[in-house]
Amino acid sequence: MRETGIVFDIQRFSLHDGPGIRTTVFLKGCPLRCLWCHNPEGLSPKPELMFFDYKCLGCGTCARVCPEGALAQGAGAKPRLAREKCAGCGRCAEACPSGAWRLVGRTITVEELLSLLERDALLYDRSQGGVTFSGGEPLFQPDFLHAALAACKERRIHTAVDTSGYAPWDVFERIAPLTDLFLFDLKPMDEEAHRRYTGVSNRLIHANLRRLAELGRPVRVRVPLIPGITDTEENLQALLALLGEVQGRILGVELLPYHDVAEKYQRLGKSYGMPSLSRPSEARLAELRARIAQVVPCA
Ligand code: SF4
Ligand code: SF4
């Protein structure tokens, strides 16, 4: 219970990360760098500042309180942050009168987390919901994740883990008995394309999926549907081939249609590498679901 982790968000009343009404706990840190990542604030394992410039009054308070000299500001102008100097202390966010800075990432103990989760225990029971650990990559903090899952199990809270699948098998093996549901992402199926768009090979990911299916743990595959990247005929054929291997041993597939999150990157001072793309149409989603459903259930 003394184990600590770094989380960047805890969302109550979540309806899209597993069955029922859930709390989604977002752990910080991820070994992948997917170009379309929806949670860029979860990539670095360290606390980071987000800036909401439309809230800034130009008062200069943040620059005055920063002990590292990381914030510079001309009269009446908005502050400029030298991220390499920032120590993540959060003083600027505390001092800002309009909430223009938000420090994302805080340390939490398993005990603190469980007392937050227990507030919604009745809701979990009534809706057959529970807690989902997401990220970032939750397996990137294996000791904290293990301890948190064990504490949830003790309290009979349903647990789901939303993972990129990119972690050593021994980490999966350790948490598998404590995890009631794996939400397992599959990105580009071609290894070279996977490296190009996420920064890592997909071999370990596919091997882990096969092994989890062999273990008989409940797994739902999730496919982010990115036009021209994962939404291509070639990718679909390769996906269907892998799904055929685990057919009957996974619960099914969920498609996650692409949407643009460029604004979040801007707030973190990061650049968004995706070209301008449209969300896949409902007709296309229906067509893909029907084709995948010939192999495994698809939502
Ligand atoms: S303290 Fe807040 S409102 Fe004032 S300059 Fe800094 S960010 Fe803007
Ligand atoms: S988090 Fe701390 S070190 Fe970083 S800019 Fe704010 S006050 Fe300065």
pLDDT digits (tens, 9 = 90+) for 108-166: 999 999 999 999 999 999 999 999 999 999 999 999 999 999 999 999 999 999 999 99
pLDDT by residue (tens digit) across 172-186? 999 999 999 999 999
What is the 8-class DSSP label of residue 209? H
**What are the domain boundaries of the chain?**
4-45+106-292, 48-104
pLDDT by residue (tens digit) across 60-97? 999 999 999 999 987 778 999 999 999 999 999 999 99
Work out the average pLDDT over 28-47: 94
d(CA 117, CA 112): 9
Task: Give the pLDDT of residue 199.
Answer: 97
Mutate to test the pocket of ligand 1, among 62, 73, 267 (most ligand atoms within 8 A of CB): 62
pTM over 0.85: yes
| Sign of CA pseudo-dihedral 273, 199, 222, 156 | negative
Task: Give the pLDDT of residue 76.
Answer: 72
Confidence of residue 278 (pLDDT cuts 50, 70, 90): confident
Question: Is pLDDT above 70 for 1?
Answer: no
As for ligand 2, residues whose beta carbon falls within 6 Å of it are 49, 65-66, 68, 70-71, 81, 86-92
Cα(61) to ligand 1 centroid in Å equals 6
d(CA 167, CA 240): 23
Task: Give the pLDDT of residue 117.
Answer: 97
- Pick the residue whose CA is nearest to atom 1 on ligand 1: 96
- Contact (CB, 8 A) for 86 and 70: yes
Secondary structure (DSSP) of 140-151: GSHHHHHHHHHH
Tokens coding 31 = 């070994």
Class of domain 48-104: alpha beta
C-alpha distances (whole Å) from 280 to each of 22, 34, 198, 277, 290 are 27, 18, 20, 9, 15
Task: Give the pLDDT of residue 287.
Answer: 96
- In ligand 2, the atom with minimum distance to the C-alpha of 87 is 3
3-state class (DSSP) for residue 231 = strand
- In ligand 1, the atom with minimum distance to the C-alpha of 99 is 2
- Domain 4-45+106-292 in CATH: superfamily? Aldolase class I (3.20.20.70)
Work out the average pLDDT over 248-257: 96
pLDDT by residue (tens digit) across 191-248? 999 999 999 999 999 999 999 999 999 999 999 999 999 999 999 999 999 999 999 9
- Contact (CB, 8 A) for 189 and 236: no
